[in-house]
Structure 1
Amino acid sequence: MLALAGTLQAPVGHTLRGKDVLQHDNPYDVGMTGLLGYGACYQALHEADLVLLLGTDFPYDEFLPQQKTVQIDIDPARLGRRTPLVQGLAADVGTTLRAVLPLLRERTDRSFLDTMLRKTEHSLEHNVDAYRTATKQQTPIHPEYLAGLLDELAAPDAVFTVDTGMCCTWAARYLTPNGQRRILGSFVHGSMANALPMAIGAQIAAPDRQVITFSGDGGLAMLLGELLTVKTHRLPVKVVVFNNSSLGMVRLEMLVAGDPPFETDHDEVDYAAIAAPMGFLTRRVTDPDDLRAAITEVLAHDGPALLDVVTTKDALEVPSHVTFAEARGFALALGKVVLSGGVGDVLRLAKANVRNIPT
């Protein structure tokens, strides 16, 4: 794939499932597409002369171009089911690319590639990274800051398992692949509560590797009993709870649809207090100044450990491309919140996310 990109001087985008494989040490990387996306991937897809979809079954067709697309996949049932194609090839991607490469004329014009690379760098510096560093002193703790510290402090070959929902956003934007790490999740099915059982399987399969969950409080609540499985089998899984007392992705989806959040928030729960009698090392953090030390202690523990971090529910996932309909729905929802007396809620939301608007 890298040889193909080099020959064509073409940008390479990826989905969340391909992040830990395609992003590391890739000089053509322009980020990720989709609702969780960042960088210039969306723009590159829609401005390219030709788009190659290689072994991907990315399901969100609103983020895919509707023309000038060639798809290669070993499963013929996947060809053209997400977006119209000018050519579909039912074949192994690696075998096909190796056969095609000698037939291609090497391009020297890299103006399109360089433009997309510059836009990606700007996006990462001014939106993604700036937002993480700007929130490190805010309370409740911003999940971006937590995810950034986990990325910094985790082992080079750590395995991360990621719950469905907002945890996918923080993993997509703040975990750095290095050729050794793995990022596992329910990235197609959208099944809640997957991070903890996946961590159990990963730890059994790789007992000498550090396994860390990005667990939403909603997902963990659904499978609390699996904490006992971790303890019974003495698995050194590190459970990190993004505890915002909310079903964050559903809350955001309601706002985008034009509806104020309804029945998405729930009672505050101290998951550290629950896990401690089960035999876990536990730490609960509400102050961002305590977060680095707590993460360091939990990751260094020789046994099961749970880090319960109280995070803000107001951190929003803002994609790299915002449609008019999404913006209109969000504005309509906020208007309804204001009319119902929630001006303070809207102001808090705006302050929490102003740095995260794509520029």
Structure 2
Amino acid sequence: MARTVAEIVVDTLERAGAKRIYGIPGDTINHFTDAVAESDLRWVHVRHEEAGAFAAGGEAYMTGELAVCAGTCGPGSLHFVNGIYESHRNGAPVLLIASEVDRVEKGFDFPQDVDQKKIYEQHSVFCEHISHPAQARRIVTAAAQAALNKRGVAVVIVSGDMFQETDDDAQDWRTYRPQPVIRPSDGELAELARLIDEAGKVSLYAGIGAREGRAAVVALCRKLKAPMVHTTRAKEWLEPGNPFNVGMNGILGNRAGLNALERADLVISIGCDFAYTQFYPDKKIVQIDIDPTHLGRRAPVHMGLVGDAKATLEALLPLVKEKSDDKHLRRHLDEWKSDLESYDAAGDEPDPTLIHPQFVANMLNERAAQDAIFVSDVGTPMVWMLRHLKANGRRRFLNSLLHGTMASALPQAIGAKLAYPDRQVIAMCGDGGLSMLMGELLTLVQEDVPLKLLVFNNSSLGFVEMEQRVEGLVDHYTNLKNPDFSKLAEACGLTGFRVDEAGGLGPAMEAWLATPGPALLDVKVNRMELVMPPKIEFSQVTSTAMFGARAMLDGRGKEVVSLLRSNFWK
């Protein structure tokens, strides 16, 4: 039976497991949205296409299944770009239907004509046109297969008039999801075992690529008496209930995580890269990764091996000798305990007129559900999430750690909440991030998404201010003149709460979390709050002092004293 290309695309998406499509309807996709309306797919009408790509990415990241977004020609599809970059770098299986002007108008600089392939092929695992009706099912199937198996974004480009074409659709193209076992050769594993046996102190550095191999990671740590350091993205997978975990490395990491790598004789890096050059351990490094192009990409390595974390470590375990000396492990477990105590104590004695953001995060950690999903904006909300929210094996976390984009928390949380309607989903928003895509508050109401938003309102681009101060600069152009976000939320149809003093935070947070529909909690937090890295360079100290001197000369003495009291004199 002949069907339109629009109907074939929709049917193929459903067969590939898609449940929702995020976007804004119009001109070149009107026939496509008409076919969606006749299907079991849900169209989620966002207010900005960038938010649609974020939301699809949030859903796909959390579920591991295909999520879809679709846009009109020209500006409509171009608005997806930043959200598509974010989703692709997160490894989220997203499929974008990017439409173009009718074929008869291509090549004549027709209004809204854009070469979508040139735009999207640089940040996708698949990017192809449907140039004939008979290709529709085959190309969409291949796109879905690429997105799911390569964990990235696939793009299908369709001219508006192509959606109306018909085909008998006889071929049975299917999406395959193979599960191969990949590990290094026996000779390579034997050489790695020799290196481990010869090393006195071994530390493991594990990333999100080791998420399926958690049990093997723990078993290797136990046999080698090795501390395990994890990346920021691996927090939810490798931290919970892990007796060998000593925290994170990198600029957002902690003292124990940094030192466990720097003091080791051998570091085994599995499923991750070293993101920040100043935190590379100057040691022998063995890197194990599923992608051979990642080996030695960011730090020189002594040995590079290709393999899946679980299969590789399970094959390695019988080959290594058990170590008896646990001093290296105990030293860093003690440091990790001290790091945790400092996090837990942050803001414990709140000034009634001052709310430390760490105090807010600690309270959220205590009162949020044990299976809550947390999504944060970049900047300081991301730091408070990573350092102060406890992973327990049931909670989920999502940050923009690779792309580092503003405004991702609210829309990504929309996708997560739609995927898991029975779970508590909390967006930890910066005031700058929220205000960038504030129109999505209307999406929450229109699409009936009972999301919870927590706004860390410091009236500034806080992380940017910190960066400027560390460079010895007076912070410029970071001030934000904000509305009362609680009243703004109420005007949009949400329930709004506002807290200006620490004593009111507990009752407000309880009421906010208990609200049945979408709700926003606006918390006025201390602006003069530094994010302290695990290792402070002398140049950073002198630069911060230079900021203080310049700020004093600018007549901002009270702010400088507040900054010092909040971060150094406590």
Give the drift of 1:90. Answer: 1.6
- Give me the whole-angstrom Cα distance separating, in 1, the residues matched to 2:435 and 2:488: 11
Contact map agreement 1:295 1:307 (CA 8 A) in 2: yes
- 1:298 aligns to 2:519 (yes or no): no
Report the secondary structure of 2:568's partner residue.
Answer: helix
Equivalent in the alignment of 1:248: 462
Identify the residue that residue 344 of structure 2 maps to in structure 1.
Answer: 129
> 1: CA distance between counterparts of 2:348 and 2:534?
19
Q: Does 1:334 align with 2:535?
A: no
**Pairwise CA distance, 1:140:** 2.9
Quote how far apart the aligned CAs of 1:342 are.
2.2
* Residue type of the alignment partner of 2:545: A
Whole-angstrom CA distance in 2 between matches of 1:314 and 1:223: 25
In structure 1, the partner of 2:14 is none
Amino acid at match of 2:391: P
CA distance in 2, matches of 1:333, 1:354: 15
Equivalent residue, structure 1, for 2:302: 86
Note the 1:278-357 alignment, pairs <5 A. Answer: 278-354=492-568
User: How do 1:70-219 and structure 2 match up within 5 A?
Assistant: 70-125=286-341, 127-134=342-349, 136-219=350-433
Aligned pair partner of 2:239 in 8, 23, 35: 23
Q: Could you say what secondary structure the match of 2:348 adopts?
A: helix
C-alpha RMSD of matched pairs (Å): 1.2
Letter in 2 for 1:15: T
Shift of 1:335: 1.7
Q: Does 1:220 align with 2:434?
A: yes
RCO higher in structure (CA 8 A, sep ≥6): 1
The one-letter code of the counterpart of 1:341 is G
1:255-298 Cα deviation digits (max 9, x unpaired): 11111111111213211111102111110110111111111111
Q: Who is 2:261 aligned against?
A: 45
Q: Is the 8 A contact 2:255 2:535 kept in 1?
A: no
Distance in 2, matches of 1:17 and 1:27, equals 19
Worse-superposed segment, 221-230 or 35-44: 35-44
Q: Equivalent residue for 1:61? A: 277
Q: How many percent of aligned residue pairs carry the same amino acid?
A: 44
Match of 2:250 in 1: 34
Aligned residue for 2:223? 7
**Residues 67 and 84, structure 1, Cα contact 8 Å, conserved in 2:** no
Once residues 159 and 39 of structure 1 are traced to their aligned partners in structure 2, the CA distance between those partners, rounded to angstroms, is 27
Report the alpha carbon displacement of residue 138 of structure 1 after superposing the two structures with TM. 4.5
How far off its partner does 1:6 sit? 0.4
SS of 1:240's partner is strand
Say if 2:466 is the partner of 1:258.
Answer: no
CA distance in 2, matches of 1:129, 1:210: 23
Residues 167-215 of structure 1 show CA distances to partners (whole Å, capped at 9, x for unaligned) of: 1110011100111000111111101010001100000111110000110
TM-score if structure 2 supplies the norm length? 0.61
Return the offset for 1:43: 0.8
Deviation (angstroms), 1:340: 2.4
| Structure 1 residue aligned with 2:486 | 272
Residue 124 of structure 1: how far off its partner (Å): 2.1
- Distance in 1 (CA, whole Å) between partners of 2:392 and 2:498 is 29
Shift of 1:231: 1.0
* Aligned-pair CA distance for 1:355: 6.0
**AA in 2 matched with 1:311:** V
Shift of 1:137: 3.3
Structure 1 gap segments, 5+ residues each: none
Structure 2: 5+ residue stretches without partners: 1-216
Residues 96 and 107 of structure 1: CA distance in aligned 2, closer, same or farther (over 3 Å): same
- Answer yes or no: is the 8 Å Cα contact 1:240–1:308 preserved in 2: yes
Amino acid across the alignment from 2:377: D
Q: Which amino acid is 1:289 matched to?
A: G
SS of 2:287's partner is strand
Partner SS, residue 374 of structure 2: strand
Distance 2:292 2:259 in 1: 27
The alpha carbon displacement at 1:110 in A equals 0.3
Larger Rg: 2
For residues 141 and 236 of structure 1, what CA distance do their matches in structure 2 show? 26
Of 216, 230, 236, which residue of structure 1 is paired with 2:450? 236
Q: Distance in 2 between matches of 1:192 and 1:217?
A: 10
Aligned AA for 2:397?
I
Deviations 1:49-75 (A, max 9, x none): 111111013421211213311111101
Amino acid in structure 1 at the alignment position of 2:295: L
Q: Is the 2:265–2:283 contact (alpha carbons within 8 Å) kept by the matching residues of 1? A: no
For residues 345 and 101 of structure 1, what CA distance do their matches in structure 2 show?
55
The 1:247/1:74 distance shift into structure 2, 3 A limit, reads same
User: How many Å separate the matches in 1 of 2:479 and 2:469?
Assistant: 13
After superposition, the C-alpha distances for 1:294-340 in whole angstroms (9 at most, x for unaligned) are 11111111110000001111111001111122222212211211222
Alpha-carbon distance in structure 2 between the residues aligned to 1:230 and 1:118 = 45
Instruction: Give distance in 1, aligned partners of 2:339 and 2:352.
Output: 22
Determine the C-alpha separation between the residues in 2 that align with 1:191 and 1:80: 26
Matched residue count:
354
- What is the CA–CA distance in structure 2 between the aligned matches of 1:211 and 1:87, rounded to whole Å? 41
**Deviation of 1:349 (Å):** 0.6
Look up the equivalent residue of 1:18 and give its one-letter code.
A
Q: Would you say the 8 A contact 1:39–1:124 is kept in 2?
A: no
Q: Name the aligned partner's letter for residue 133 of structure 1.
A: D
